């Protein structure tokens, strides 16, 4: 029986940052056989995989400021692509002196079982359930009979054809949904992806804590005292559906019976501001969750405003810093994800259910935006609504709306936003990295991309002849560098790496990236716990 995980080490000469890749061996299909992948250069298999965990623990134990950064990929990412992505991330980090100078940093790429679109085609008929399989026989008969009798009996022939086409359409729709792999990946992300990542974090936590106990002669109180002030920072980069995996992981790792999380009654989440100030950043025995970088997250916009204990809210409130990289032209989220979620997202109108990865910053300018006296939420639009309008649409008619208004804006304000819709790389001829960089908002901050532009991007994405609308963040040198610096160094370290805030803004302005910084980040560039804004 194969193991539950495979582990690899990044072995490029001269690298200063220990980097590992841990792969869940959960199969794409429950009846698949496990196979070892073909490794790209600079990755070497570690056997048994526990040796990789031990190596990670040793690096963190010996560091003055231990810092573990975990990267999680998104949907429609087969194993070979993920291996190349993580190897590229390791090379990028290894060549960034601002990051390599940070001692105590360990990077881990985690892969959950995702497959490419269309990969399930060979098993489409074999996996078809009994009912649609039975429907295929009368469907073919109706289509044949309808065509043959239509000349003698037009009415009967047309009815037979119509019923046959309807039955065929039902079966075809099911097959197409399977081929898109969105629901298959969603199942694997929830069933295998999150629980397996939880186990990896737990193993690292357990072994670090065991070493602490050994160092202090099995005295748990002394071990805890020694670890205070030297807790291991735990940060995540979650791309697309990977952001959903991370939010669920943090929720699972959090102890709901923690006495530091008071909730006076069932409705305390509606009006009690204490829930925004009491969530601890500590996870397990040794970890403190530090930074969460969401890249094109496949999460509904409504989650960032909900006062309920949804997976996003309970995660964001624990992180010290949170960052969201998005694009109005991410057609994978705007078209494919919203279409797939049409069957599952509970709404009566198409105006709801857009994904956080499509967040726009409504301004004509690039670089760091000065909000002035304008409400923070009024700068952000996701799909049809501005966040401010979305809030009012969701909570209209509530008697407690005034109190909601105070509380609900806080979750959205713990995030710093990077709108990469017009992101270009001047060294690559000034071409758009994620879209065709049409500068739609050049003259009108509220302007939207036209439906023709969206169709053009979607067509180019499937043809692979244009910008990578969903994963391009990791293919532009600046965007890639910015993501990794924020995850590894935090806001203060990133600002220092670029020189100061003005120089970061100038770089973003040159690359046509709009930035809306969270009010949580103070003028000195240091992060305050997101849970502590009140």
Give the tens place of pLDDT for each residue, 512-525.
Answer: 999 999 987 754 45
Helix (H, G, I), strand (E, B) or coil at 482: helix
Residue in 352, 267, 279, 287 with CA at minimum distance from that of residue 313: 279
- Split at pLDDT 50, 70, 90, the class of 21 is very high
Helices 130-149, 154-180: inter-axial angle, 10-degree rounding: 150
What is the pLDDT, as a whole number, of residue 267?
62
Which H/E stretch holds residue 480? Answer: helix 477-498
**Please, which residues bridge with residue 105 across strands?**
67
What is the pLDDT, as a whole number, of residue 218?
56
Helix (H, G, I), strand (E, B) or coil at 367: strand
**Please, which residues bridge with residue 87 across strands?**
none
For the chain, the straight-line distance linking the first and the last C-alpha, in angstroms and rounded, comes to 52
For residue 267, whether the previous peptide bond is cis, meaning omega lies within 30 degrees of 0, is: no
Residue 140 to residue 417: CA distance in whole angstroms: 53
Q: Mean per-residue pLDDT for 107-133?
A: 87
Residues contacting 349, CB < 8 A, separation 6+: none
Q: Measured at the alpha carbon of residue 238, what is the angle toward residues 234 and 242, in degrees to the nearest 5?
A: 120
Residue 279 to residue 258: CA distance in whole angstroms: 9
Alpha helices of 150-288 — where are they, by DSSP H?
154-180, 182-188, 194-215, 220-227, 241-253, 268-271
pLDDT exceeds 60 at position 403: no
| CB atoms closer than 10 angstroms to residue 129 | 8
pLDDT exceeds 60 at position 425: yes
| CB atoms closer than 10 angstroms to residue 182 | 21
pLDDT exceeds 50 at position 534: no
Residue 34 to residue 16: CA distance in whole angstroms: 33
Alpha helices of 272-321 — where are they, by DSSP H?
311-316
Residue 295 to residue 353: CA distance in whole angstroms: 18
Residue in 359, 379, 461 with CA at minimum distance from that of residue 420: 359
Could you tell me the strand order of the sheet in which 359-361 lies?
Answer: 359-361, 380-382, 385-386
For residue 361, what are the CA distances in angstroms to 291, 367, 389, 501, 522?
22, 11, 14, 19, 20
Residue 497 to residue 491: CA distance in whole angstroms: 10
For residue 181, what are the CA distances in angstroms to 24, 29, 35, 188, 327?
18, 12, 20, 10, 22
**Please, which residues bridge with residue 368 across strands?**
515
| CB atoms closer than 10 angstroms to residue 423 | 26
Residue 361 burial (10 A CB sphere; 0-12, 13-18, 19+): buried
Instruction: Give me the phi and psi of 360, to 5 degrees please.
Output: -115, 150
Q: Mean per-residue pLDDT for 14-32?
A: 87
Residue 365 to residue 361: CA distance in whole angstroms: 10
Q: Mean per-residue pLDDT for 156-174?
A: 76
Which H/E stretch holds residue 291? Answer: strand 287-295
What is the pLDDT, as a whole number, of residue 367?
96
Residue 427 to residue 370: CA distance in whole angstroms: 28
pLDDT exceeds 60 at position 320: yes
Instruction: Find where tokens 């160094």 sit.
Output: 489
Question: In this predicted model, what pLDDT tens digit does every residue of 60-82 receive, in sequence order?
Answer: 998 888 999 999 999 988 888 88
What is the pLDDT, as a whole number, of residue 154?
63
Residue 523 burial (10 A CB sphere; 0-12, 13-18, 19+): exposed
Instruction: Give me the phi and psi of 46, to 5 degrees please.
Output: -115, 120
% of the chain residues with pLDDT over 90: 45
Per DSSP, 40 falls in state P
Residue in 203, 230, 197, 217 with CA at minimum distance from that of residue 61: 230
Write the Ramachandran bin of 177: left for phi over 0, alpha for psi from -120 to 50, otherwise beta: alpha
Question: In this predicted model, what pLDDT tens digit does every residue of 441-493 receive, in sequence order?
Answer: 999 999 999 999 999 999 998 888 889 999 999 999 999 999 999 999 999 99
């Amino acid at each position: 029986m194969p193991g539950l995980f495979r582990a690899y080490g990044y072995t490029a000469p001269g690298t200063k940052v220990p980097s590992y890749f841990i792969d869940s061996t959960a199969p794409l299909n429950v009846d698949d056989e496990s196979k070892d992948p073909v490794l790209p250069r600079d990755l070497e298999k570690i056997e048994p995989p526990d040796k990789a965990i031990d190596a990670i623990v040793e690096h963190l134990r010996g560091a003055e400021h231990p810092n573990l950064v975990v990267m999680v990929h998104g949907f429609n990412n087969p194993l070979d692509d993920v291996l190349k992505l993580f190897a590229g991330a390791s090379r990028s980090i290894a060549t960034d002196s601002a990051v390599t100078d940070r001692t105590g940093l360990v990077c881990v790429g985690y892969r959950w079982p995702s497959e490419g679109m269309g990969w399930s085609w060979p098993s489409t008929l074999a996996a078809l359930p009994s009912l649609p399989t039975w429907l295929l026989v009368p469907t073919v008969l109706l289509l044949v009979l309808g065509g043959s009798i239509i000349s003698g009996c037009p009415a009967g022939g047309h009815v037979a054809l119509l019923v046959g086409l309807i039955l065929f359409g039902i079966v075809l729709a099911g097959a197409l949904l399977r081929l898109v792999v969105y629901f298959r990946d969603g199942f694997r992300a929830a069933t295998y992806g999150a629980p397996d990542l939880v186990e990896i974090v737990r193993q690292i936590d357990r072994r670090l804590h065991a070493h602490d106990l050994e160092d202090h002669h099995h005295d748990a109180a002394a071990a805890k005292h020694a670890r205070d002030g030297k807790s291991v920072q735990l940060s995540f980069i979650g791309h697309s559906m990977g952001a959903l995996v991370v939010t669920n992981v943090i929720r699972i790792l959090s102890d709901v019976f923690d006495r530091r999380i008071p909730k006076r009654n069932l409705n305390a989440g509606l009006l009690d501001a204490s829930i925004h100030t009491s969530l601890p950043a500590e996870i397990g025995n040794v970890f403190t969750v530090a930074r969460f970088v969401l890249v094109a997250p496949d999460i509904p916009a409504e989650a960032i405003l909900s006062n309920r204990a949804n997976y996003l809210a309970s995660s964001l409130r624990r992180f010290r810093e949170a960052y969201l990289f998005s694009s109005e032209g991410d057609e994978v989220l705007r078209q494919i994800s919203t279409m797939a979620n049409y069957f599952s997202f509970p709404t009566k109108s198409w105006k709801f259910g857009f994904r956080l990865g499509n967040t726009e910053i409504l301004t004509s300018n690039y670089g760091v935006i000065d909000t002035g006296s304008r409400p923070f939420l009024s700068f952000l639009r996701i799909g049809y609504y501005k966040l401010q309008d979305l809030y009012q649409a969701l909570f209209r008619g509530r008697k407690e709306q005034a109190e909601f208004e105070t509380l609900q804006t806080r979750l959205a304000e713990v995030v710093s936003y990077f709108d990469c819709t017009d992101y270009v790389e001047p060294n690559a001829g000034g071409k758009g990295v994620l879209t065709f960089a049409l500068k739609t908002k050049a003259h009108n901050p509220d302007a939207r991309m036209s439906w023709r532009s969206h169709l053009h991007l979607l067509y180019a994405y499937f043809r692979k002849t244009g910008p990578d609308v969903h994963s391009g963040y990791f293919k532009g040198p600046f965007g890639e560098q910015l993501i990794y610096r924020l995850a590894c160094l935090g806001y203060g370290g990133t600002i220092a790496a670029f020189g100061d805030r003005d120089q970061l803004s100038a770089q973003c302005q040159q690359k046509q990236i709009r930035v809306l910084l969270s009010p949580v980040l103070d003028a000195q560039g240091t992060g305050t716990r997101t849970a502590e804004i009140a």
